[in-house]
């Protein structure tokens, strides 16, 4: 399996939306490659005809009545928000330009 | 009357119903111990003094009412009515902080009760507070907490295990008879083992996870930590069972017999007669301490002498457990932790004013090193081009691991006995710079999560003065049988000298000059910074 380069580490960090310092990136490159080395043992196992297991209990299609239930009040739901405006969470502007905010 | 904090939960329950003690007095005694000793242990992140005393008062009123109403009303009370319990700090308690050991959730106040919390309230248990843990339950030492590590009361320079290390240390230190933990790869069993107490990870689906901070959703399970099998059974009974709000909780009845494990040691021991126990040869792994292996073999020999049949078995895919677990768990974590975006709750850095940059700063600044490592691993394993080689492959290996266990049950065995951790508690700072060494601490516990099985750790004596835990693994939904086996082992070892020992350095925690583990960590961190650093 592949060896992670510094560029790969930066790419994965961006995919994961993790802002990392230079020092963290350098440490992670070494540590992640060391961990990926441990994964190599899996390649020695032939699993071509083995089905995957996503979860271990045999529950499927758990349904319930589509009934209205009480939920959190607006103030309770917003109580932990870093920033609110009226009855809304304030989300950082995703699109720039006029009216973007 | 003995020191209230030395009572077991089942003894408290009996004395409360008999009117011989009050929940108020029990709760005060435990709060005082926790407050006095937490400086040296750092087992608790929050202590609910006022609220706990109010809950105790309510429990006393319920018990008094039931005593007036007669035996039927008293019998209808849950045995935990009036009994103190601690919760790992990833369990939601309405109006209380739930940090999951992370800076990103500092100050987060849960707007609702978890199902576990609600069921404990219904039972009348007294919630004392919240315990320390590795950040988002990712770790095996409680050193990955953003609020500093927890010390082990057997040796204050050592880890209590993790991630439920705060819960384990609090129970071992007599701050509470009971605590709730969670276990994704060993996080209940391994700290229970290292602190010399009982811990049970139930079958996947046994306990509702509604209101619990998620780590890896196909593996996470909630369970009890206690000082004996009977107490663990009472706590499991209180919280287990189907919950409409968690579709992965199973509609399997919770056995009422959990409330009546045998009191007599001889009666308990008789459960071993004719029991078939499997001893998996792969669990006596390379790197296992000889003292640990010796205690486990002695425990199994004692069970054999008491009438059990013990046979060695093979679980041939054990060696693939670690690698496949460390793909599946980080992959699921990377997905679950995507919710921490600094918008709806938690730490938020909006200093740049630019969406992506703030997002990066919020997550980069809010998560600690181990959580970042696992998010990176998981994101990589799930990224385009690698899914088949990593996540899908690991899920196929999970099929093989589960099949290994299925073969043991099909061969007629009642339980598997194995070590819980390959080592006793290790020194603070010993593994923080080497993630793989830390991961190896869970080599004997994580295959059980992969297979969704119930697993328990129970005290089996000491090695080098530190506790060793015997692991009992059962077939799905066999928690009652496992706890009967655990109780039987207590019965046959009731007079062993180590049973009477209290954690060797617990007395030091009463000394206000004993340094806190937070300070100890800073010292080890600065010492290791001069070393070689990353091992690649």
User: Per the CB < 8 Å rule, is A82 touching B343?
Assistant: yes
pLDDT tens, residue by residue, B498-524: 999 999 999 999 999 999 998 765 555
Q: For B396, which of A4, A34, A52 is closest by C-beta distance?
A: A52
**Cα–Cα distance measured from residue B111 to residue B13, given in angstroms and rounded to the nearest whole number:** 31
pLDDT tens, residue by residue, B303-333: 999 999 999 999 999 999 999 999 999 999 9
- A72 Cβ contact partners less than 8 Å away, ≥ 6 residues apart: B111, B112
Describe the crossing of helices B479-492 and B229-239 by its angle, rounded to 10 degrees.
160
Cβ-count burial of B88 within 10 angstroms (0-12 exposed, 13-18 middle, 19+ buried)?
buried
DSSP state of B45: E
Q: Which domains does chain B have, with CATH numbers?
A: 7-315+401-520 (3.90.1300.10), 321-397 (no CATH)
Taking every pair of Cα atoms in chain A, the longest distance, rounded to a whole number of angstroms, is 58
**Cα–Cα distance measured from residue A83 to residue B513, given in angstroms and rounded to the nearest whole number:** 42
pLDDT tens, residue by residue, B383-424: 988 999 999 999 999 999 999 999 999 999 999 999 999 999
Using 50, 70 and 90 to split pLDDT, how confident is the model at B530? Answer: very low
User: Per the CB < 8 Å rule, is A57 touching B203?
Assistant: yes
pLDDT tens, residue by residue, B178-232: 999 999 999 999 999 999 999 999 999 999 999 999 999 999 999 999 999 999 9
- Sole residue written with tokens 């809010």: B366
State the smallest CA–CA distance between residue B104 and chain A in angstroms. Answer: 12
What is the model's pLDDT at position A97?
A: 52
Q: For A42, which of B248, B324, B341 is closest by C-beta distance?
A: B324
Q: Residue B229 is encoded by which pair of tokens?
A: 């099998």
Q: Which residue of B has its CA nearest to A94?
A: B355
Q: For B396, which of A35, A47, A64 is closest by C-beta distance?
A: A47
Using 50, 70 and 90 to split pLDDT, how confident is the model at A2? Answer: low
What is the model's pLDDT at position B82?
A: 98
Using 50, 70 and 90 to split pLDDT, how confident is the model at B527? Answer: very low
Average the pLDDT over B57-74 and give the result.
97
User: Per the CB < 8 Å rule, is B204 touching A55?
Assistant: yes
**Cα–Cα distance measured from residue A59 to residue A52, given in angstroms and rounded to the nearest whole number:** 16
Q: Are the beta carbons of B504 and B131 closer than 8 angstroms?
A: no
State the smallest CA–CA distance between residue B536 and chain A in angstroms. Answer: 5
User: Per the CB < 8 Å rule, is B248 touching A57?
Assistant: yes
A13: chain B residues, CB-CB within 8 Å:
376
What is the model's pLDDT at position B73?
A: 97
pLDDT tens, residue by residue, B474-491: 999 999 999 999 999 999
Q: Are the beta carbons of B60 and B17 closer than 8 angstroms?
A: no
**Cα–Cα distance measured from residue B168 to residue B68, given in angstroms and rounded to the nearest whole number:** 37
Is B285 a residue whose pLDDT tops 90? no
- B535 Cβ contact partners less than 8 Å away, ≥ 6 residues apart: A30, A34, B433, B434
Q: Give me the phi and psi of B30, to 5 degrees please.
A: -70, -40
Is B533 a residue whose pLDDT tops 50? no
> What CATH number is given for A6-44 in this structure?
1.10.20.60
């Amino acid at each position: 399996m592949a060896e992670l380069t510094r560029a790969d580490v930066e790419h994965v960090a961006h995919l994961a939306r993790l802002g990392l310092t230079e020092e963290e990136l350098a440490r992670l490159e070494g540590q992640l490659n060391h961990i990926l080395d441990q994964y190599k043992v899996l390649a020695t196992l032939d699993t071509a005809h083995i089905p995957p297991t996503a979860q271990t209990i045999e529950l499927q299609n758990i349904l319930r009545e589509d009934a209205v239930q009480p939920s959190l009040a607006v103030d309770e739901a917003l109580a932990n928000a870093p920033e609110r405006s009226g009855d809304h969470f304030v989300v950082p502007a995703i699109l720039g330009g006029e009216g973007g905010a | 009357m003995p020191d209230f904090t030395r009572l077991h939960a089942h003894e408290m329950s009996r004395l409360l119903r008999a009117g011989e003690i009050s929940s108020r007095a029990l709760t005060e005694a435990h709060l005082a111990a926790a407050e006095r000793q937490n400086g040296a242990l750092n087992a608790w992140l929050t202590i609910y003094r006022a609220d706990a005393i109010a809950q105790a008062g309510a429990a006393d009123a319920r018990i008094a009412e039931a005593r007036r109403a007669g035996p039927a009303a008293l019998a209808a009370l849950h045995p935990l009515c009036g009994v103190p319990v601690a919760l790992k700090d990833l369990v939601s308690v309405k109006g209380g902080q739930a940090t999951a050991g992370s800076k990103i959730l500092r100050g987060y106040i849960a707007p609702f009760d978890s199902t576990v919390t609600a069921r404990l309230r219904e039972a009348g248990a007294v919630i004392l507070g919240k315990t320390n843990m590795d950040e988002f339950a990712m770790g095996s030492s409680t050193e990955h907490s953003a609020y500093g590590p927890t010390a082990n009361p057997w040796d204050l320079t050592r880890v209590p295990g993790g991630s439920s290390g705060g819960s384990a240390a609090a129970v071992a230190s007599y701050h509470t008879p009971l605590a709730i933990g969670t276990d994704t790869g060993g996080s209940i069993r391994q700290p229970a083992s290292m602190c010399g107490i009982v811990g049970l990870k139930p079958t996947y689906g046994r306990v509702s996870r509604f209101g619990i901070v998620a780590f890896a959703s196909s593996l996470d399970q909630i369970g009890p930590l206690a000082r004996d099998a009977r107490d663990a059974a009472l706590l499991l009974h209180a919280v287990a069972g189907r919950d409409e709000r968690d579709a992965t909780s199973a509609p399997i009845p919770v056995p009422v017999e959990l409330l009546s494990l045998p009191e007599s040691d001889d009666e308990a021991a008789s459960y071993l007669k004719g029991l078939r126990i499997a001893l998996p040869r792969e669990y006596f792994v390379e790197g296992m301490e000889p003292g640990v292996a010796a205690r486990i073999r002695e425990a199994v020999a004692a069970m054999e002498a008491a009438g059990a049949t013990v046979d060695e078995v093979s679980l041939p895919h054990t060696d693939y457990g670690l690698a496949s677990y460390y793909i599946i768990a980080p992959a699921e974590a990377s997905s679950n932790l995507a919710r921490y975006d600094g918008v709806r709750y938690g730490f938020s850095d909006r200093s740049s004013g630019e969406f992506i940059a703030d997002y990066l700063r919020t997550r980069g600044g809010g998560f600690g090193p181990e959580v970042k490592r696992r998010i990176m691993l998981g994101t990589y394993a799930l990224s385009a081009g690698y899914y088949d080689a990593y996540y899908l492959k690991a899920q196929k290996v999970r099929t093989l691991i589960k099949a290994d266990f299925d073969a043991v049950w099909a061969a007629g065995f009642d339980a598997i006995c194995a070590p819980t951790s390959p080592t006793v508690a290790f020194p603070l700072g010993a593994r923080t710079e080497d993630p793989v060494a830390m991961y190896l601490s869970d080599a004997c516990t994580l295959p059980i999560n992969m297979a969704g099985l119930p697993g328990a750790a129970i005290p089996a004596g000491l090695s080098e003065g530190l506790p060793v835990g015997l692991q009992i693994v059962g077939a799905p939904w066999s928690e009652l049988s496992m706890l009967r086996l655990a109780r039987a082992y207590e019965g046959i070892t009731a007079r062993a000298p180590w049973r009477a020992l209290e954690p060797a350095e617990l007395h030091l925690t009463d000394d206000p000059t004993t340094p806190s583990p937070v300070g100890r960590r800073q010292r080890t961190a600065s010492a290791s910074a001069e070393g070689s650093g990353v091992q690649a």
